[in-house]
Amino acid sequence: MIDLFTYTTPNGRKPSILLEELQLPYTVHAINIGQGEQFSPEFVAINPNSKIPAIVDRDHQLAVFESGAILIYLAEKTGKLLPTEAVARAQVMEWLMFQMASVGPMFGQLGHFRNAAPDPIPYAIERYRKETLRLLGVLDRQLADQPYIAGDYSIADIATFPWVAAVKTPYLDISLADFPWVSGWIDAMKARPAVQVGMNILKPAFKSDYGTVAPPQETRQALEMAQKQAA
């Protein structure tokens, strides 16, 4: 059983998509980052960096934080969606790192300066908009000759999709007219049942054969238990 501590952000949706793909039983625990719940001592015991998502694998009483590390851990735990052959594994890992180091941070900064900065800063918005467009171009070229980012469907796609899916929303508001291969890949990802369920975590539409949403009291108990185990 996996306890998933998360929220409705692109990073927060990555593990839920993978858990659905792997058909692993899991419990979703809402950590409301708007209310600062990620800074509670109980959550910091799971993730010293006070960021969602984080998981606790009850099979091993192991806490794992950072979304990329969680994806690798779960893929290795099950032997799925991360190749073991050296070349194929390296290709998945490099595109996973591309998402972690570039797509997530740059798209996130664009979203911040467009939506959350106290005052508009045109230079910052344009800087991150241009970088977002450049990164979409990199992905478009990569997807031109293959259905998924590293060839076969993998954790690289799962890591990248929630961020790219935000491109056409008001949060980022970027046209994909110049990125037809990215658009086709988005459609293919959206057609996957596990992606549909995983993207709906903590929403009224969430219905899963593998995951359940914990009530607040159960989340507090899970956090307290994890804190004691980490002490």
Q: pLDDT digits over 184-221, tens only? A: 999 999 999 999 999 999 999 999 999 999 999 999 99
CA angle 158, 162, 166 (to 5 degrees): 155
How far from 164 is each of 2, 90, 185, 229, CA to CA, in Å?
A: 26, 22, 10, 36
Count of Cβ atoms closer than 10 Å to residue 201 Cβ: 26
Statement to judge: residues 172 and 101 lie in one domain: yes
Task: Give CA–CA dist 141/179, Å, rounded.
Answer: 9
Q: State the total domains in the chain.
A: 2
pLDDT given for residue 56 in this prediction: 97
Range of the domain at 12: 2-80+195-230
Long-range CB pairs of 172-175 (<8 Å, 24+ gap) are 172/107, 172/110, 172/111, 172/114, 172/132, 173/114, 174/129, 174/132, 174/133, 174/136
This prediction has a pTM of 0.96
Do 57 and 139 lie in a common domain?
A: no
Q: Does residue 182 share a domain with residue 117?
A: yes
Q: Which residues of the chain have pLDDT under 70?
A: 231
pLDDT of residue 228: 80
How far apart, in Å, are the Cα atoms of 94 and each of 51, 100, 114?
23, 10, 29
